[in-house]
Amino acid sequence: IDGTTSMPTIWESEPIKMWSSLKSEAKPSTAGTVVGSTFEDLVVKSTGTDVLVLVHATWCQHCKSFLPLWTEMTKLLRASVSTIKTYDMDGELNEVHGVAIQSYPTLLLYPGLDKQRSVAYTGGFDELQSILNWASQHSSSLFNVNKIMKLQKNNALLKNEVDQEDSGRMEL
């Protein structure tokens, strides 16, 4: 009536859409990486597939220590479990509404049959079998952890044999 318009306050504006990107790097060129802007499509909308997301920070020493085990685990899962996908996300450069990160590293499982919730891993980040047991227990499709551990053991034996053959050739 007096000719002024009031600006809506934040709580009167449209609500933030769940899974929307609050902060994002550019879309990644490498497979296995998710950013804020691709999170909804790659994680939430991948129906029927369980998704493991490792949220890390480049400065985090625990993350750096866990990275070789994470890399090995993702290779083993890709080779033996067709119902699970793995992604990593830099938590310092990417934020997604609905994903609360308390510390690094954070490992989240989004079950294939219920993507509206995630299950956070609360164990140690130094034992592959514990992480796989947790993932199998909380995923929509159970998988055989013993089979994966056997595959890991066979891969380690094969690598050891190749290394021994290579060192034998160097001596000649």
17 has a pLDDT exceeding 80: no
On average, the pLDDT of the chain sits at 85
CA distance 62 to 99: 20
Average pLDDT over residues 144-158: 87
Place 6 in a pLDDT band, splitting at 50, 70 and 90.
Answer: very low
Q: Is 20 exposed, middle or buried (0-12, 13-18, 19+ CB in 10 A)?
A: middle
Give pTM, 2 decimals: 0.81
Give CA 54 to chain center in angstroms: 3
Give the model confidence (pLDDT) of 78-120 as tens digits.
999 999 999 999 999 999 988 889 999 999 999 999 988 899 9
Which positions ≥6 away from 48 have C-beta within 8 Å?
A: 83, 112, 113, 140
